[in-house]
Amino acid sequence: MKTQILGIDLGTTNCALASVQADDGSVETVGIPQITAPRTVGQPSGLPSALYLPSRNEFSAGDFALPWSDRDALPVAGEYARSHGPNVAEQLIHSAKSWLCNPNVHPDEAILPWQSTAVEEKLSPLSVSSAYLAHIKAAYEHSQGPSDAVAAETQAVITVPASFDEAARRATQQAAEKAGFGSNTLFLEEPLAAVYAWIDNEASNWREQLSPGQLLFVCDIGGGTSDFSLIAVDERDGDLALERIAVGNHILLGGDNLDLALAYVLRSQIEAAGQVIDEWQFRSLIQAARVAKEALFSKDALTSVPVAVPSRGSSLMAGTISTELARETLQAVAVDGFFADVEATDHPETAVGSGLQELGLPYEADPVVSKHIAAFLTQARASLMANAELCKRLDPTGERFAAPFLSPDGILFNGGVFHASVLRERVVSMLSRWAGRPVKALAGGNLDAAVARGAAVYGRMHVSGDGMRIRAGAAHSMYIGIASSIPAIPGFKPPVQALCLVPQGMEEGSETVLDKELGLVTGRSVTFQVFSSAERPQDVVGQLIPDADKMLETSQPLEMIMPEVEGIVSGAAIPVKLHARLNETGTMELWMQHTRSDNRFKIDFNVRLD
């Protein structure tokens, strides 16, 4: 039997599914059946990343039955959760994907809906992500036939942000396993998936649009996040090759922020007209602002779009509260606000720190996307300058690195925000002005489905062995914490050092052995502190970084019980040497070899997803 190949975009605000057709190998976007209203099943092209937890007796039995089950699918995922949930906000879960990489929260901790007191049982970010994946899996299997047969011959590729740290990537793998996806499941960075989709869409013509020595900027802005990557174009054996050389931070800034800003402007207009709306109506206003925004962006002839929200009167004749979104307002907020035409030296402003803060999602203090692009290109240059070999290969004349930022030659847009041509034009114009030369925008396909389609393309390549693979290596350098061996001092906590295990860019199949002996505690529960950095490409395997808490990003610690070693007192440290290998699936295999016996201890870290 032929393998079913699926590409899944597990998005912050929307999920998408694509599959490879068995007859001709083409990639098609697949609709996902879901509840669109009580007792109503629709099949939109995507699955909104929203989960609604109905209260007891809120709905009747059978209101949320799906075709593949004779029981209500609870919690409710998808379109109805997104449309109905804002009316009962304390029972709605959204942005679960961003919670996966929140360093203050364990991905398996039941905290969602965040700060809600209205639900009986909360869910963890990992469980919510797993619920979306399980829904997509069940929907696809229902369309294909018996689930056991499909599961046995399915190759799934699930995407994640390039900016995800190691803990978030491990959590995504665990969510996939919990949803029933097999151990052969592959994981792919979203910007790379967008590039694979573009290559597949362009067929052989893509080589005519890029040249050796050029840089491609992948600008992926969806509803909730912004994700940036730089791809270098190289030549190997007479053919073009691509290599991902830089990734940005996880930026909680996207189309949802724009909709919220427009809603605040519209509320001011309503209040200026002598009317007042409450929080329930304001949530409806956010959705109405999104619809009006999309209408204005898609139809140049429109000068304004009416916006209405329901009143709170009990009478059917209570009517609505109305205003309008003018094109001038949209231009001021979206184009000149979020995508302001700034200078390359203008970087995001940092919020003045307050002594006390809510432990919520770390939203960006500066909403100007243009500044975040400038900061990424500046940081990419600073990081790559530490890699002399790569600098020489990318810029043999030294002209590109003479500027304080890296100027790309081409840009590939992805994400729903860029349905608006005026926003694409603003970014291209700004990058061209910074570079002092034209920056070419590559023609993309379906901005909402490109990531899922690219994941399916990658799955097809993996199964067939054919196709051009983008070299990526580890997106971040990775380190393991080492406790300092110094005398105890009252009131002083010894600093934690970090040992570099995986340098940024380390390729699959690479293996290293560290000569330094370390002490491994056995016979009890231990914690391994993991650190990472996307800004230290100069670090090499075995390098010790002092004051790791200050110099590096901290991930969730790994806790495990180390087995006892015969003849060694429980809790004592034994001398070990570290053996690290980055395998073909992007997982680092870390072996700790006891230097006085044949005992070996293995720990798996997920450090890179294709």
Alpha carbon of 34 to those of 9, 186, 423, 561: distances in Å? 16, 25, 31, 42
If one compares 582 and 76, the residue with the highest pLDDT of the two is 76
In terms of DSSP bridges, do strands 46-48 and 50-52 run parallel, antiparallel, or are they unpaired?
Answer: unpaired
d(CA 571, CA 520): 9
Segment among 104-118, 222-236, 313-327 with least mean pLDDT: 313-327
In a domain, 201, yes or no: no
Burial status of residue 122 (CB atoms within 10 A of its CB: 0-12, 13-18, 19 or more): middle
Q: How confident is the model at residue 313 (pLDDT cuts 50, 70, 90)?
A: low
Quick: pLDDT tens for 161-197. 888 876 788 889 899 999 999 888 999 999 999 999 9
Residues 570 and 503 in one domain: yes
Residues 238 and 261 in one domain: no
Q: How confident is the model at residue 555 (pLDDT cuts 50, 70, 90)?
A: confident
In a domain, 202, yes or no: no
| Sign of the Cα pseudo-torsion (463, 469, 475, 478, in order) | positive
Residues 228 and 263 in one domain: no
Number of folded domains that form the chain: 4
- Tokens 């072996």 map to which residue? 591
In a domain, 347, yes or no: no
d(CA 536, CA 515): 22
Residues 237 and 261 in one domain: no
Residue 562's CATH number: 2.60.34
The residue-averaged pLDDT of 494-508 equals: 82
Residue ending a domain, among 137, 169, 184, is 184
- Rounded to 5 degrees, φ, ψ at 389 are -65, -45
Residues 333 and 273 in one domain: yes
Segment among 389-398, 416-425, 593-602 with least mean pLDDT: 389-398
Residues 522 and 590 in one domain: yes
pLDDT at 417: 94
In a domain, 127, yes or no: yes
Burial status of residue 109 (CB atoms within 10 A of its CB: 0-12, 13-18, 19 or more): middle
With vertex at residue 505, the alpha carbon angle to CA 499 and CA 506, rounded to the nearest 5 degrees, is 65
Rg (CA), the chain: 25
Residues 76 and 173 in one domain: yes
Specify whether the CB–CB gap between 84 and 55 falls below 8 A: no
pLDDT at 184: 86
Quick: pLDDT tens for 67-92. 998 889 899 999 999 999 888 888 99
Q: What is the mean pLDDT of the chain?
A: 87
Residue type, 546: P
Cis peptide leading into 107, omega within 30 of 0? Answer: no
Quick: pLDDT tens for 205-239. 898 899 998 999 999 999 889 999 999 998 887 78
Residues 18 and 122 in one domain: yes
Residues 441 and 582 in one domain: no
Residue 579 structural domain: 477-606
Closest by alpha carbon to 468, among 132, 116, 192, 64? 192
Can you say whether residue 491 is alpha, beta or left, with left for phi > 0 and alpha for psi between -120 and 50 degrees?
left
Residue 77's CATH number: 3.30.420.40
d(CA 460, CA 465): 8
d(CA 415, CA 536): 29
Residues 224 and 263 in one domain: no
Quick: pLDDT tens for 323-334. 999 999 999 999
pLDDT at 514: 85
Predicted model pTM: 0.86
